[in-house]
Amino acid sequence: MNEGPATALSARQAPPAHGSGERARDPRPYQHYVYAYPHKTAYEELDDAPSLRDVWAGEPRDALALYLHIPFCEVRCGFCNLFTRIGAPDGLTTRYLEALERQALAVREALGDAEPVAFAAAAFGGGTPTFLTAGELERLCDIAEKRAGADLSAVPLSVEASPATATVDRLAVLADRGATRLSLGVQSFVEAEARAAVRPQRRADVEAALGRIRDAGIPVLNIDLIYGIEGQTEESWRHSLRAALAWRPEELYLYPLYVRPKTALGRREPDEAAWDTQRLRLYRHGRDLLLAEGYEQVSMRMFRRPGPPAQGPDDHACQTDGMVGLGCGARSYTSRLHYSFDYAVDMRETRAIVDRYTGTADFSRAHRGFRIGPAGDEPRRRHLLQSLLQAAGLGLAEYRARFGSCPADDFPAELADFATRGWLDGAAADAGLLRLSPEGLAHSDALGPALFSPAVRARMSAYEPR
């Protein structure tokens, strides 16, 4: 779930007021998970449908990231608004892999061979990549290596899995082909909470899956947990955290639960103020417990056990320029254009998009996207968001070297507002950093949306969830 949940800003998720000279009421803490800027709901049809050859012309290509998206899951979790469908009728995974192969060839051709092309990292996400059989995973790795040109045995390879699909044969393929990180969506070790989040699973099955992953010898295990589930208490949350810690995972992601349009939980109407209070309390409880256990906080959601080398992208840093996304839910990033296919959450819409993708013969053009730069305001916002939402903060010298200014020049109202709220670490400037305070990190999902540009905000508001 690392490319995690997000949705368009709705009317009830209005951003805080800025620039009025007085401190506005505290915004709601859970508005939007900013894992990529801008969100796909801000993408539009590209009238000129540029050729990928033009899109990639002049872009650095010596350290690209490769992302392959598998849009299939066994069940649809109640909280999930990622691009995925339940199950795959006869032959659909085969047709999907064939389309992936055609797309990989088209992108590789567009990248050309005038300059060397090299990938520095790879990831299989979804959906659930391990929905594919062991044989299909072999083919997926072949596509990444032989068609796209990534050397999976030489670069970090991160893969997402669910407990039921983390089987011995699939894990053996992934380990053999070079997987360095396996991320398991557990969400809760309490069976009643898993049911309440519409992700029914037995604790024994989760524990067995974790055992198989450890036996497979993949160096980094990440476990995803969710807080804010109906009925969840500090005690039951601590129980899940302790159960996860028993496996000594190298990474843990703690996600606040969101209720989004078009999802199974989207029909509920929680008491939002009480729910915010519950989520903030559970967040602080989880953060404090992990820090006491020696974990380092990388971002609001991500915690890492010191020692093992990082084997995947840091939270909020997965959208660096130079990413090749393959598959119908994958985004690609260049310094000038972000592009992808259509996006939906509703089951019927998702199925139609997957079918269109598998029927596509010509992948040589970009049809949907967002023109981001390289000059102007948007790259600055993206850089600020990418860096500020990480616990390590933003290097002021690096920002100045890239843009010739400092964030306080470019975003005076927003940063003054954050400072007034106590969200900035006042001592960080001495170290040449702009950094969030612990409370600022806790409010990442309010602070991030406050940095969206008016243009992105307008496009997201105009997006009709489907």
Cα 99 to Cα 372: distance, rounded to the nearest angstrom = 28
Q: Are 222 and 250 in contact (CB under 8 A)?
A: yes
Nearer to ligand SF4, 1 or 152 (CB): 1
Q: Are 98 and 343 in contact (CB under 8 A)?
A: no
Number of residues that bind ligand SF4 (CB under 6 A): 12
Please choose, out of 9-17, 69-77, 145-153, 310-318, the segment that lies near ligand SF4 by the rule CB under 6 A.
69-77
Task: Report which residue type is found at 408.
Answer: A
User: Cβ 335 to ligand SF4, closest distance in Å?
Assistant: 29
Residue 223 touches ligand SF4, criterion: CB under 6 A:
no
Nearer to ligand SF4, 82 or 265 (CB): 82
User: Which residue's Cβ has the minimum distance to ligand SF4?
Assistant: 80
Closest by CA to 318, choosing from 252, 254, 390, 370, is 390
Nearer to ligand SF4, 185 or 322 (CB): 185
Closest by CA to 299, choosing from 234, 308, 307, 312, is 312
Please choose, out of 120-128, 189-197, 253-261, 368-376, the segment that lies near ligand SF4 by the rule CB under 6 A.
120-128
Nearer to ligand SF4, 129 or 393 (CB): 129
Cα 153 to Cα 381: distance, rounded to the nearest angstrom = 35
Q: Which of 7, 31, 103, 128 binds ligand SF4 (CB under 6 A)?
A: 128
Q: Are 253 and 316 in contact (CB under 8 A)?
A: no
Q: Which of 32, 40, 69, 76 binds ligand SF4 (CB under 6 A)?
A: 76
Residue 126 touches ligand SF4, criterion: CB under 6 A:
yes
Residue 127 touches ligand SF4, criterion: CB under 6 A:
yes
Cα 356 to Cα 354: distance, rounded to the nearest angstrom = 5
Report residue 338 as tokens.
Answer: 């972000």
Nearer to ligand SF4, 256 or 440 (CB): 256
The contacts of residue 405 (CB under 8 Å, 6+ apart) are 380, 399
Nearer to ligand SF4, 80 or 384 (CB): 80
User: Cβ 73 to ligand SF4, closest distance in Å?
Assistant: 3
Please choose, out of 92-100, 125-133, 171-179, 264-272, the segment that lies near ligand SF4 by the rule CB under 6 A.
125-133
Q: Are 350 and 366 in contact (CB under 8 A)?
A: no
Closest by CA to 2, choosing from 304, 316, 336, is 316
Residue 209 touches ligand SF4, criterion: CB under 6 A:
no
Please choose, out of 30-38, 78-86, 95-103, 412-420, the segment that lies near ligand SF4 by the rule CB under 6 A.
78-86
Beta bridge partners, 303, equal 252, 297
User: Cβ 80 to ligand SF4, closest distance in Å?
Assistant: 3
Q: Which residue has the tokens 């990534």?
A: 150
User: Cβ 162 to ligand SF4, closest distance in Å?
Assistant: 5
CA distances from 289 to 2, 17, 305 (A): 21, 34, 13
Show the CA angle centred on residue 143, arms to residues 44 and 57, nearest 5°.
Answer: 50
The contacts of residue 454 (CB under 8 Å, 6+ apart) are none
Residue 77 touches ligand SF4, criterion: CB under 6 A:
yes
> How many residues can be counted in the chain?
466
Nearer to ligand SF4, 257 or 391 (CB): 257
Cα 306 to Cα 361: distance, rounded to the nearest angstrom = 46
Nearer to ligand SF4, 252 or 433 (CB): 252
Residue 188 touches ligand SF4, criterion: CB under 6 A:
no
Please choose, out of 56-64, 75-83, 253-261, 411-419, the segment that lies near ligand SF4 by the rule CB under 6 A.
75-83
**How far does CA 9 lie from the centroid of its chain?**
17
Residue 73 touches ligand SF4, criterion: CB under 6 A:
yes
Report the helix count and the strand count for the chain, using DSSP H and E: 16, 17
Cα 18 to Cα 2: distance, rounded to the nearest angstrom = 31
User: Cβ 15 to ligand SF4, closest distance in Å?
Assistant: 26
Residue 185 touches ligand SF4, criterion: CB under 6 A:
yes
Q: Which of 42, 52, 64, 82 binds ligand SF4 (CB under 6 A)?
A: 82
User: Cβ 110 to ligand SF4, closest distance in Å?
Assistant: 29
Cα 135 to Cα 71: distance, rounded to the nearest angstrom = 17
Please choose, out of 70-78, 230-238, 281-289, 364-372, the segment that lies near ligand SF4 by the rule CB under 6 A.
70-78
Nearer to ligand SF4, 51 or 133 (CB): 133
Q: Omega of the bond prior to 38 within 30 degrees of 0, cis?
A: yes
Q: Are 204 and 157 in contact (CB under 8 A)?
A: no
Q: Which of 84, 232, 263, 334 binds ligand SF4 (CB under 6 A)?
A: 84
Show the CA angle centred on residue 25, arms to residues 228 and 260, nearest 5°.
Answer: 35
Nearer to ligand SF4, 76 or 177 (CB): 76
Site for ligand SF4 in 148-167 (CB under 6 A): 162
Applying CB under 6 A, which residues contact ligand SF4?
1, 73, 76-77, 80, 82, 84, 126-128, 162, 185
